[in-house]
Amino acid sequence: MPATEINYDGLVGPTHHYGGLSPGNLASQRHAHQASRPRQAAIEGLDKARFLRSLGVAQAIIPPQHRPDIDTLRRVGFTGRDHEVLANARREDRSLLACAASASAMWAANAATVSPGADTHDGRVHFTPANLVSQFHRSLEAPATARTLRALFPDDAHFAHHLPLPASMRFRDEGAANHTRLTGAVGEPGVELFVFGRDIDDRTSHRPRRFPARQTLDASRAVARAHGLHPQRTLFAQQNPAAIDAGAFHNDVVAVGHEHVMLYHEHAFVETPTLTTQLRSAYRRLTQRDPLLIEVPHAEVSLPDAIGSYLFNSQLVTLPDGAMALVCPAECRERPLTHRYLERLEARGDNPIAQVHFVRVRQSMENGGGPACLRLRVVLTDEQRAAAHQGVMLTDELDGKLRAWVERHYREHLSPDDLADPRLLEESRQALDELTTLLDLPGLYDFQR
Ligand code: SUG
């Protein structure tokens, strides 16, 4: 059945800032409390989406969430009118204010796990919004993400929406950032690979010592079960604790897969040979062909280099002529080792990666989010695509309107002190209110009801 992989990019919200909120995410820690540039962040995201469209990739956007999240600040005990709630939070606990103001929903790879209809028991596209419970600021996203996904994929005949997994340590879930699909071609069934950081029962002895493992095996299994995936085409693999401790808080920082290709770091997984054997045989059973598993040796690109450059957080996409392009963060070009590796990969001729491109998403990168973090891949048949909400599909016209909207509403700079500014709350509301008209999503936000 004809199908398309659509990249739904998280549109950066007006409160983008550096809160230092994610332990284990080195960039977030490094840039903590620096001034941010929300307008630049949003434009960089739109530039990336425009560039991908120029390569022939279908693009849509996921609207930002409403921040600062006053309701959450009230739930944790701050009282008064909105501006008092903000001022009290700033006085008593700045980190809570930073959490409530985080624009972290921009990293759409953490919005949900998505299984295309070709993989699920009932032929519908299944969505499980990630509960993101391992980081407080990110856990705030789940309810609004669930509502947004229902608005973007509204027809029960085509789309199945699950609740986020129970909000407990046992079911820590970070969505598509720990989920890869290998398939013969878009629209065909695939092998779904779920990568977890920790088995909560410690049925294995591997676990990170320095930084949190943000995905559990129980969560991955629960999502696979809920989506009705075929057991023979579903694999679970553990992330190497050494990778987590080196700063790979999600698997998409050390591996990327698309169609029949997976590019991964030598130290990405525990027991890599077992995993690659399982992947090959599941893939072969499904397609009668071999997948192309490209292991990047530590000797060529060290784990710190991979994490520093976000080499694996690149987007691997199919071009209209069937070849592939790897769209990397500009940081990969700035580091001689990764740049040289990419030049060799492009020139090698033993893989379909015919083009390597670099995009600049600096503001997101400084919080630990590269190009691949900013998008959620959704494979839709033509019929499903027609049933999806059309207002968020990127066209030249919508792109132009969004740029003008960003210029009108976003601040150029934001410092940690600005987060309690009641005018920022008002500006964000106005911006989002107008956005719902641009995207034809009336009443998306609570404050509009
Ligand atoms: O969850 N950063 C995000 C980055 C997410 C990247 N996503 C993927 N790898 N798919 C995180 O750690 C930092 C926010 C701050 O510190 O202000 C943050 O949430």
Q: What is the DSSP letter of 269?
A: B
Residue 331's Cβ-side half-sphere holds a number of Cα atoms within 13 Å equal to 22
Residue 202 has pLDDT above 70, yes or no: no
* pLDDT at position 246: 95
Mean pLDDT within 327-346: 96
Which member of 5, 44, 141, 174 is catalytic? 174
Q: What distance lies between CA 410 and its chain's CA centroid?
A: 22
Q: pLDDT (tens digit, 9 = 90+) per residue, 264-287? A: 999 999 999 999 999 999 999 999
Residues in contact with ligand 1 by the CB-under-6-Å rule are 18-22, 25, 28, 102, 104, 107, 109-110, 135, 138, 177, 249-250, 252-253, 367-369, 373
**Structure-block tokens of residue 274:** 């077992």
Which residue, judged by its Cα, is nearest atom 6 of ligand 1? 369
Mean pLDDT within 345-374: 96
Query: How many A from CA of 58 to the centre of ligand 1?
Result: 25
Residue written as token pair 């071609």: 185
Which residue, judged by its Cα, is nearest atom 8 of ligand 1? 373
Query: Around Cβ 91, how many Cβ atoms within 10 Å?
Result: 11
- Is 0.95 topped by the overall pTM? yes
**Structure-block tokens of residue 430:** 């106005």
**Structure-block tokens of residue 248:** 């790979």
**Structure-block tokens of residue 145:** 């993400």
> Among residues 135, 131, 134, 128, which one has the least CA distance to residue 112?
128
**Structure-block tokens of residue 211:** 């930084």
Cβ neighbourhood burial of 300 (10 Å; 0-12, 13-18, 19+): middle
Confirm whether 250 is a catalytic residue.
yes
Q: pLDDT (tens digit, 9 = 90+) per residue, 122-169? A: 999 999 999 999 999 999 999 999 999 999 999 999 999 999 999 999
> Among residues 315, 306, 308, 309, which one has the least CA distance to residue 371?
315
**Structure-block tokens of residue 315:** 């987007």
Q: pLDDT (tens digit, 9 = 90+) per residue, 368-393? A: 999 999 999 999 999 999 999 999 99
Look up residue 332 and give its amino acid. Answer: C
CB 152, CB 378: distance < 8 Å: no
* Shortest-distance atom of ligand 1 to CA 373: 10
- What is the rounded CA–CA span in Å between residue 18 and residue 300? 32
- What is the rounded CA–CA span in Å between residue 227 and residue 372? 23
Residue written as token pair 């049933």: 387
Query: How many A from CA of 20 to the centre of ligand 1?
Result: 10
* pLDDT at position 131: 98
CB 12, CB 103: distance < 8 Å: yes
Query: Around Cβ 265, how many Cβ atoms within 10 Å?
Result: 27
**Structure-block tokens of residue 322:** 């069937």
